[in-house]
Amino acid sequence: MARVLLVEDEALLRLLTAEALQECGFEVREAGSAVEAVEILESEESAIDLVFSDVRMPGNIDGIGLLRWARENRPRLPVILTSGYHSGAQAVRQLAGREPFIPKPYDPFQVASRIRERLERRH
């Protein structure tokens, strides 16, 4: 069972997405901020297979900062970013580079499909 770290500061969206991903067969760890996500990744280095993170979050680190941290510290860890700020989507795509981007609002079951695709490409 693949383990996904879901990073989303909106609690209701995080809950709904986590439930949908679990229904699709993923084990889901949740973080309400990028700082919390880094703490989880540092403590469970091999336990997370993919990170699905919002871009805009409160705190010192946003989703782009989390992506940069992952590239430096866990270069083989896939990251998928999401955002509801469509005007900044192009900038996010440029910053994210090769990582997939899913605009909000999204269908959590389509997110699950994209996660599976990304994990299959890794192997």
75 contact partners, CB below 8 Å, separation of at least 6:
none
Residue with tokens 């067969």: 25
CA torsion sign for 67, 56, 32, 14 is negative
Give the three-class secondary structure for 45: coil
* pLDDT one digit per residue (tens) for the chain, 123 residues: 999 999 999 999 999 999 999 999 999 999 999 999 999 999 966 689 999 999 988 889 999 899 999 999 999 999 999 988 765 556 666 666 666 889 899 999 999 999 999 999 876
Question: What does the pLDDT read at residue 83?
Answer: 87
This prediction has a pTM of: 0.91
Per-residue pLDDT, 122: 74
pLDDT of residue 45: 60
78 domain-assigned:
yes
Closest CA to 100 of 123, 72, 121, 85: 121
In a domain, residue 18? The reply is no
In a domain, 123, yes or no: no
Q: What is the per-residue pLDDT for 100?
A: 82
Q: What is the number of domains present in the chain?
A: 1
Residue-range definition of the domain harbouring residue 105: 1-6+38-85+98-110
116 is a domain residue = no
CA angle 16, 21, 22 (to 5 degrees): 100
Look at residue 14 and tell me if it is in a domain.
no
pLDDT at 95: 64
Q: Identify whether 11 is part of a domain.
A: no
Q: What is the model's pLDDT at position 119?
A: 95
Q: Has residue 106 been placed in a domain? A: yes
Strands 27-31 and 79-83: unpaired
Q: Looking at residue 64, which CATH number applies to its domain?
A: 3.40.50.2300
In a domain, 23, yes or no: no
Alpha-carbon distance of 83 to 6, in angstroms, equals 13
